[in-house]
Structure 1
Amino acid sequence: MPLFEIETDAHIIITWADDENDARDVAKDSYPGESILRLSKRPRNSWVISKGVLGIKIKTDPCGVARDCLSKASGDKVHAIRLYMQQTGDDLEQSRKVIETNMVMGW
């Protein structure tokens, strides 16, 4: 089943469909009030989005840094958050989110 990229007024939809008509139906069902601006069949069965295009500029891998901080802190969440804040310069709330996310993922 081919992968289609469908651009509407406010969304970009990536979906598998049997053909262009089915892809158009997906867009109409999902966003009935929007016009389809562009529909293209993707040449491969995967999709890659550049973080730079989205404006995400991360010099380091936040998960890698968080896992390193958790390891250094022997799993102590509060100590890991402090270490993360020191290493990245992120504020308390952002650091807490990153550390807790990585704790759930089983650092």
Structure 2
Amino acid sequence: MHPDWLGSPQHFVGGAFAAALAIVVAARLGVRGRLLLAVLGLGVAMTAETVVELAEYAFRIAHATAYYDTIADLAATLAGALAGAVAAAFAVSARRAGAR
């Protein structure tokens, strides 16, 4: 058995959206700095994914019993969160720079 790295695109997309949403909300609340925003977005996305994986385990979802599936899901979410965090952090800071 091996991880199916491309089998769960919803984890990549979900990670990207969670990170981007966290960054946009944090920026509107006054958080400054690309790195801080990006790290915040990553943290929110990975925390949400951990909750999802724990819920899958608790409910014993049949297709989510394999260790490799969980690792692949976490990796896909992390990749999406990185992409979303970088894009959103740069978009927010560029918007602020243009508003000056």
Q: Pick the TM interval, shorter chain.
A: 0.3 to 0.5
TM-score (norm 1): 0.33
The higher-RCO structure (CA 8 Å, 6+ apart) is: 2
Query: Rg: which structure is higher?
Result: 1
More helix by share: 2
TM-score (norm 2): 0.35
More strand by share: 1
